[in-house]
Amino acid sequence: MMKMHNPTRLRLLFVVAVIIPCLVLGVIAVRSIDREEAFVAMQLQRTFDAELVYTVSVINTELDRIMEELAGSAPAEVPASPGPSFTAWRSRSELVRVPFLLSPKLEIVWPALGADLTEDDRAFLNWNREFVTDKALVPVYQNVALVYKDEISKLAGTPFDRKDLAAEAQEKAEPAGGAKPPGERVVPVAAAPASREAKSRMNEAAVEQRALSQIEKDPDVRQQVLDQARAKGQRTEPRNVAPSTRFSPAKQPAPQESIYISEPRRFSEITAQGDRGLIPRFIDEKLSLLFWQRRPAGGFLGCVISDDAFRGRLAGLLPNVYTPSRILTILDEAGRPLLAPDAEEKRDWRRPFAAREISGKLPRWEVAAYLTDPDAVAARAGTTTTILWVLIVLIFLTIAGGGLSILQTIRSEMQLVRQKTTFVANVSHELKTPLTSIRMFAEMLKQGRQPDRAKQDKYLDLMVSETERLTRLINNVLDFSRAERGERKYEKRRLDAAWLTESLIEGQRVRLEHNGFAVSFRNDLGEAFIDGDEEALKQAVLNLLSNAEKYSGEDKRVDVEVSGTEGSVLINVKDRGRGVPPGDSKRIFEEFYRVDDAITAKAGGSGLGLPIALRIVRDHGGDIHYFPRDGGGSVFQIRLPLRGPS
């Protein structure tokens, strides 16, 4: 406690113990609130993403299956006039729309120009003649991660080590049951049959997998490889959608680039890579899929796939499209959903919560997930944020408020300690002064140095008056400690307040006049009966009188007036001193409080006179007020309730 007397130290303590922890808490809290929404969004995105990955893989499997189905249903033998067998093919598979046949020299055998051509045949020839006869090029789409896997490996910072990846891939290939008895030779299962070629294929697959995931999680790497692709003349294009994980659709997210880059190729180049395949072509911005298959006898057989049948097949693959939390659908090349609940007509399909491109065979197509009710999710996140904010503000206020009130308590305790110390010093001084004069007069009388009888009487009066001053001081201190302990008792009886005041003034007059004071007393009321303890009330008035004496300046006069209002008697003690500064007029009634000025310091005192007087008067149902006196000085007014008529 004593150490804390230094206010700077106290302030420092407050800053260290309250302000800094509060600020740290605030910063942590604000940051975690900021992350709250992002965290919820991330969780949702992960869930959706897993579904999207699954759907993409299902679609890709379906594409393979469609190819197999078409190859399986295609006529094995094609006669010189293939019309009827192609009609039969079309009736076997709803996916077949326009069959075609190419000679080994890439001449169009069917649709035969001479035969009567259907609308579809004509459209096929119109759009594809140049391409299938190897005269025109069409863009072929490829995943940039696969084309640039080695560059991605370098850009990733830690280049993918093919050896590690091979080991990893091998581990995956091994059957479960790694816990073999120690010492037993472990023969890697995959190693035995795996030829050198199979091994390197496995390595490549692992590298491709790494490249795919790297490009997905690192937008910088993706941007860099796309830039590289562009620099090499490969074409990049924007995606149809701009996925955004923000709940509130405040800002349109920046459109992303597709990870499928394209390069123009000839039919012969495309078909050189295998025995069958699918070629996507954009005709009037509409996707058209060409199926082709190499014939054992040379040349190619194929068809334009029926758009409706194809879309129907994919739509049938989708898991539950509409759930209370999300809508999952496939978007076509125009960004329109293949399947959408009726109620969702107005939805902005270009802004999914999460989306994935499907394949180079289906360029511009995506699987996309949307929040069914983004507002509800945003509102939920908003409520959590609000609750967190309220909690933070509450905690903050509690800590700060608690800290401040502790500081306040420490301060007032410190002030009290200081006041008590000053009080002891003041009281000792106050005791000493009257004792000194009593002793002086008593010695003079004892030594018989004053033969004048009248003077002797005056000395005796002064001694009595000084003794009274001593008594008053001691009474004040005793009363204070008694009142502090709640032990003060009053003996109340019927009293004339005017008489009580007058007799008190007359008792003090000699001493006051001896000290150069002009004393006046006026009674406007005559008799003023109250219920009161005579000694206590005398003490209260005496304290005011003594203050008037102590704090008077040059103009030494004390005027006491007794007047009345309805039901009350007013005792005004007035002086022509320097008055009480406005800021102190309430505080002077507090225990130990003394105005901080030169006159008060010189006058000496305990800071108990007014609080004790106030307590006594209040215990009698009255009050004391201070007013500045007109023309300078103070008026201390005691108001006491008059006794009822009984």
Residues near ligand ADP, by CB under 6 A: 543, 547-548, 550-551, 575, 577, 579-580, 588, 594-595, 600, 605-611, 634
SS3 28: helix
Q: Which of residues 442 and 599 has its CB atom nearest to ligand ADP in the complex?
A: 599
Give the Cα separation of 633 and 578 in Å (integer).
Answer: 5
Q: Which of residues 160 and 592 has its CB atom nearest to ligand ADP in the complex?
A: 592
Q: Which of residues 128 and 546 has its CB atom nearest to ligand ADP in the complex?
A: 546
Q: Which of residues 301 and 610 has its CB atom nearest to ligand ADP in the complex?
A: 610
**Rounded to the nearest whole angstrom, what is the least distance from the CB of residue 599 to ligand ADP in the complex?**
7
DSSP of 405-426, one letter per residue?
HHHHHHHHHHHHHHHHHHHHHH
DSSP for residue 17:
I
**Rounded to the nearest whole angstrom, what is the least distance from the CB of residue 479 to ligand ADP in the complex?**
13
Q: Which of residues 74 and 603 has its CB atom nearest to ligand ADP in the complex?
A: 603
Give the Cα separation of 437 and 408 in Å (integer).
Answer: 44
* Helix locations, 328-367, DSSP H: none
Q: Which of residues 258 and 606 has its CB atom nearest to ligand ADP in the complex?
A: 606
**Rounded to the nearest whole angstrom, what is the least distance from the CB of residue 542 to ligand ADP in the complex?**
11
Helix axes 20-73 and 374-446, enclosed angle (nearest 10): 170
Characterise 592 by phi-psi region: left (phi > 0), alpha (psi -120 to 50), beta (else). Answer: left
* Helix locations, 485-608, DSSP H: 497-514, 534-550, 598-603
Q: Which of residues 148 and 551 has its CB atom nearest to ligand ADP in the complex?
A: 551
Q: Which of residues 113 and 601 has its CB atom nearest to ligand ADP in the complex?
A: 601
SS3 580: coil
**Rounded to the nearest whole angstrom, what is the least distance from the CB of residue 593 to ligand ADP in the complex?**
6
Buried b (16+ CB within 10 A) or exposed e, 180-210: eeeeeeeeeebeeebeeeeeeebbbebbbbb
**Rounded to the nearest whole angstrom, what is the least distance from the CB of residue 550 to ligand ADP in the complex?**
6
Q: Which of residues 460 and 518 has its CB atom nearest to ligand ADP in the complex?
A: 518
**Rounded to the nearest whole angstrom, what is the least distance from the CB of residue 582 to ligand ADP in the complex?**
12
**Rounded to the nearest whole angstrom, what is the least distance from the CB of residue 602 to ligand ADP in the complex?**
11
Give the Cα separation of 309 and 341 in Å (integer).
Answer: 20
**Rounded to the nearest whole angstrom, what is the least distance from the CB of residue 642 to ligand ADP in the complex?**
26
DSSP for residue 18:
I
Q: Which of residues 92 and 557 has its CB atom nearest to ligand ADP in the complex?
A: 557
Show the 3-state SS of 215-256: HHHCHHHHHHHHHHHHHCCCECCECCCCCCCCCCCCCCCCCC
Give the Cα separation of 111 and 132 in Å (integer).
Answer: 12
**Rounded to the nearest whole angstrom, what is the least distance from the CB of residue 30 to ligand ADP in the complex?**
50
Q: How far is CA 32 from CA 87, 384, 394, in A?
A: 66, 12, 17
**Rounded to the nearest whole angstrom, what is the least distance from the CB of residue 20 to ligand ADP in the complex?**
40
Q: Which of residues 48 and 551 has its CB atom nearest to ligand ADP in the complex?
A: 551
Give the Cα separation of 174 and 190 in Å (integer).
Answer: 7
Which run of H or E residues covers position 463? Answer: helix 453-484
**Rounded to the nearest whole angstrom, what is the least distance from the CB of residue 516 to ligand ADP in the complex?**
17
**Rounded to the nearest whole angstrom, what is the least distance from the CB of residue 618 to ligand ADP in the complex?**
15
Q: Which of residues 472 and 620 has its CB atom nearest to ligand ADP in the complex?
A: 472
**Rounded to the nearest whole angstrom, what is the least distance from the CB of residue 511 to ligand ADP in the complex?**
17
Q: Which of residues 149 and 488 has its CB atom nearest to ligand ADP in the complex?
A: 488
Give the Cα separation of 164 and 527 in Å (integer).
Answer: 114
Characterise 621 by phi-psi region: left (phi > 0), alpha (psi -120 to 50), beta (else). Answer: left
State yes or no: cis peptide before 111, omega within 30 of 0: yes
Q: Which of residues 325 and 585 has its CB atom nearest to ligand ADP in the complex?
A: 585
What is the bridge-based pairing of β-strands 108-110 and 276-283? Answer: unpaired
Q: How far is CA 541 from CA 386, 570, 593, 639, in A?
A: 61, 12, 19, 11
**Rounded to the nearest whole angstrom, what is the least distance from the CB of residue 626 to ligand ADP in the complex?**
8
Please name the amino acid found at residue 336.
R
3-state helix, strand, coil in the chain (%, to 5): 50, 20, 30
Residue with tokens 């993403």: 49
What token pair was written down for 143? Answer: 């995943």
Helix axes 534-550 and 609-619, enclosed angle (nearest 10): 150
